[in-house]
Amino acid sequence: MVKYTKFCTTFLPRLFLFAAIPLAAQNNDDAIQLHRNAATSALKANDLSRAEREYLAILSIDPKNVEASSALGVALYASGNLREASAALQNALGLDPSQPRIQLFLALTQAELGQCVQALPALELQWKDQPDLRLRRLAGLSALDCELAAGHLTTALQLAEPLKAQYPGDPDVLYKLAGLYSRLWNKAAGELIQKHPESYRVHQLAGEVYEAQGKGDQAIREYTLALKENERAAGIHLRIGQILVQLAAPDSETKALAEFQRELAIDPESAAAEYAVGELFRRRQDFPQAAQHLQRAVALDSSLAEAHIALAQMFMAQHDPHQSSHEAGIAVQLDPRNAKAHYALMVAYRGEGKMDDAGKELALFQQLQQEHDTNFDNKLNILLTGKAGMGQTSN
């Protein structure tokens, strides 16, 4: 699951200041008023942790205070504590289901947690009807990410074009469009560079171009520049770590592990980063650490086939073919054309003594490998000669 890109911490406190639901006075209790005033002061100082404590203090006095519960939820969302934010916002919505702004922030939180099925109806409604343009932008971006994650490209297009029309030159919107349409890559990237030369997205985009070209050192340099502009940008440490693993220098895995751990410090809900850490520990045969991270990866995103493959490989290394075949079987179901998944299942079946099943998986693995090699050779031939091979297509 491609999760919703988190907003940088320098933006979130400002978001909260205009988006938080005002605490209407419910009674004349001096203690509640004192905590309310303290929360307001904390928000003005961008101290979200202190604001959260003040809202919790109000709720300890008045557990049914819907304004405090909703404000706590927004503060938790702004500070990146998504699961706690979801709980607080659901509690607020239970106290008062009529509040559209509570519904919006609950949907934004659910989307970042990967719960797009629950989030999309509210996001689409907010994108359509939300009068506050800043909140409407958040709803539109979040809904777009959910549609992209589900592979609904036509629906994403129908959302992306009016999103760009309403927020021309917005670096985040332009970044999403560049990812959605390869044919608009140059145009969108050019507009991004022209209108926002100071944005960390410019360096991130350049890093992705270099990465796609196999220029790892240049990509890392651009990603590092992006992090200088926005040290809390999600996904960049993950990309740097992946490049380091591919470079295979003597200390590259140690450096990559540090990058993946930095990614988790920014985004604790990153299944990809958890998988990357677990895979490195698996390679080192540190199976307790590998299991911890790989199992968390699949808990965060059960559709992550590569994490299930890594678990299957880990269990085989521990001489547990039954658990290995279970994980490899899940990977095959998730990604039937993944050659690595079929190979892992073949090895597990052999360990269980299921030789007929192992033979079938070996045949599937060899077929997929041959198709991959044929497609690669054909695409290379097209690049070199402009012509497809005999009886082959360029798809």
Q: Which of 358, 352, 303, 294 is nearest to 324 (CA)?
A: 352
What is the C-alpha separation between 277 and 237, in angstroms, rounded?
A: 12
Q: Is the pLDDT of residue 277 over 60?
A: yes
Q: Helices 12-19 and 30-44 meet at what angle, rounded to 10?
A: 140
Please, which pLDDT band fits residue 381 given cuts at 50, 70 and 90?
Answer: low
Sequence-distant (6+) residues with CB within 8 A of 243 are: 211, 216, 219, 220
Residue 22 scores a pLDDT above 70: no
Give the model's pLDDT for residue 388: 43
Domains and CATH numbers, the chain: 1-114 (1.25.40.10), 270-395 (1.25.40.10)
Question: What percent of the chain stands above pLDDT 70?
Answer: 86
Mean pLDDT of the region 363-387: 69
For residue 324, CA distances in Å to 1, 275, 292, 318 come to 23, 17, 16, 9
C-beta separation of 325 from 312 below 8 A? yes
Cα of first residue to Cα of last residue in the chain, in angstroms, is 25
Find the mean pLDDT for residues 310-330. Answer: 97
Which of 271 and 391 is assigned the larger pLDDT?
A: 271
CA 217 to chain centre: 24
Confidence of residue 29 (pLDDT cuts 50, 70, 90): confident
Neighbour tally for 389: CB within 10 Å: 15
What pLDDT, on the 0 to 100 scale, is given for residue 380? 47
Global pTM reads 0.54
Residue 190 binned pLDDT confidence (cut-offs 50, 70, 90):
confident
CA neighbor of 248 nearest in space, from 204, 213, 216, 281: 216
User: Out of 11-15, 64-68, 136-140, 269-273, which region has the weakest mean confidence (pLDDT)?
Assistant: 11-15
Is residue 6 scored above 60 in pLDDT? no
Structure tokens at 137: 């932008």
Report CA 146 to chain centroid distance, whole Å: 10
Q: Which of 357, 342, 352 is nearest to 315 (CA)?
A: 352
Encode pLDDT of 65-86 as tens digits.
Answer: 889 999 999 999 998 899 999 9
**Lowest-confidence region among 123-127, 300-304, 348-352, 374-378:** 374-378
Alpha carbon distance 196, 230 (integer Å): 14
Give the count of alpha carbons within 13 A of 155, CB side only.
13
Per DSSP, the three-state class of 115 is coil
Q: Are 381 and 387 in contact (CB under 8 A)?
A: yes
> Rounded CA gap, 298 and 306, in Å?
9
For the ranges 93-107, 116-130, 183-197, 356-370, the lowest mean pLDDT is seen at: 183-197
Tell whether the model's pLDDT for residue 386 goes beyond 70: no
pLDDT band at 151 (very low <50, low <70, confident <90, very high): confident
Residue 13, pLDDT score: 43
pLDDT in the model for residue 378? 61
The mean pLDDT value for 351-378 works out to 87
Q: What is the pLDDT of residues 206-232, one digit of tens each?
A: 999 899 899 999 999 999 999 999 999
Of 12-16, 49-53, 136-140, 365-369, the least confident = 12-16
Determine which of 267-276, 277-286, 375-384 has the lowest per-residue pLDDT on average: 375-384
Counted residue by residue, the chain has a size of 395
User: What distance lies between CA 170 and its chain's CA centroid?
Assistant: 20
CA distance 265 to 192: 28
Least confident among 13-27, 196-210, 373-387: 13-27
Tokens representing 299 are: 């808990």
Largest CA distance in the chain: 84
